[in-house]
Structure 1
């Protein structure tokens, strides 16, 4: 029986992998413009990192982590999100000892166990940024601007920025008592998960996906009504900067995000028309996370954007990513005894950074031309015994159908000029 890929994973095949290259390179080039540098962390970490960093009352830690014991009985977890590993690396390598703020970005796979559906896989990919060392609300606006700029450059339209403030520990302590008082008489009607969170982290109840629990939450006091003066002023400044940058937003007082480490600014980016999985990215500020992971008191902010969901949003809006095969020239042969000449020509073309290939199945010239069209290539160089004896080769332009004989020593220059002209 044929072994198939695990449920909740996808094979990214040629034709699609080029689309991934495009959106990943867009992320890299944009981060260069904003002054962010790439960091790559391990795919698995010690489990305690996520328990301490993400929060043991979150769905991720409670239900979704891929955790296992290695041969030394150490508990390891495939990374379910990108922020905690970056914080760990930031501390382990003492990046805080240099110039602040430190601006980092990452691209890579994450892993969460859940019910697979469109845009929500068990292995999924994120583009994320993290900035450490400043509480300036203009930095919050920059991080949000970078995320929106990324989607705009990809061509997505009609996105909604949902934003809220989840305050600081002092705000949440006050809100916790208000919320518990409001929910106390209604608690038995909530799901068992919400009942459990009532004592441990009642704010997390706002993150419940149950429609019944959401109905029961209507009228509940929100964290926004409990913001202290400092948090309230910070949030007002963030919103003011967003207006200055002409970034529209929707104030969503029930938005708390799914991770315990957030403080102050929290945001999500929604692509209407994607159904239940309409959120394609989000993030926020986490001023206590570095300290919670054993480091000094250093503020931070960042986001994580889902790349599968980004591609789904592009598809839903009929935004086509042009896929280039990468091959510019196909070398075809007519007759016997030309393999050595063809291989030497391929080597010469590649040496001069011209992407080239040839037929390896002994097809007829007609079949080789079909092969070149399917790539598709720009040019076909046809090698024949008579032409080679004269030091010539025939070059055919697949777009125009025109062909001409070119001296062997001029083939590279001819192909380079055609490439520059876009032929």
Structure 2
């Protein structure tokens, strides 16, 4: 078992308390409890509450905070048509929470005077008091570790509920027929969505506390470990389920194309180590999504190669058309409007065509050749740097078109105005 010295990197060396790996809340509480036992045996235990040790006091405070969120959500879910049984259950939860908070505060009168609603009672955890207020470092370290585990656990809960919601949408579309079945399916989806929102709120609360406590330490890397969770980050892996989810949203936004769709960061961050490594279904989902992403990447590379080849064909087509029209301007071939075909000069001469007619045909052919050359030069200029851009995967700088247009034309470059 790992003790406090291995669990935390103390602030004496100017580092942030960090878990050796993403551990569950239970593992952190066990390590803190073992350290409290050693402190009691050595006579250096930190006593702040008659019923709890210092680290256990913080752990119970986090549990009360979680219950406050749940009661608040349950209260908001009560509607005009809620039954008396549903209202009674919510009130019972609130009363139970009230008594637990009173025991935690150890002052019934203070709790009665300060409580408007049980979920509005301030718990005064180390992360909720100003830095200027004195607070024991052991309490701050304990909350840091517990908050980190809480954030990882919240991510696991968020992923699990998102996968469940995606399954419920698919099941509803395939098997729910009629008003009764659709209403029941929609009710399940509604309750699952409430769990998604609760998990997101839990992670955001844990991250806010970590951000506050991080100001007490140096060398913090918590921003990379706990990114900001935005509303657009909360979506499932499957494309089909995302479509169903967006279809039921009140405010619809334009979804990115299949080739530009990105997997949310929540699926790439390791949560509770034990839960993540033992969840075979999550592993399978991630493998499937990786295969899809790999297939999309290969298709995009294929599209890029095809586009480059088509660009090369276009330039070659413009050049070949220019050569054809140039060959028609040397008085050897002329277009017969009657037969709608090109004929030789000998056949035209038989029709007693004068020299002015020959010059007219030649001028028209040269004009067409110049147009094709101009198109070729225009697209060569427009596509300058594309091959380098593709070769360096978009990292190579591309010169502005104004700069490219001002470059002198080399001898080996076709001059559009030469004709």
Query: Given the two structures, how large is their TM-score scaled by the length of structure 1?
Result: 0.23
Whichever structure has more helix as a proportion of its residues is: 2
Whichever structure has more strand as a proportion of its residues is: 1
Query: Given the two structures, how large is their TM-score scaled by the length of structure 2?
Result: 0.23
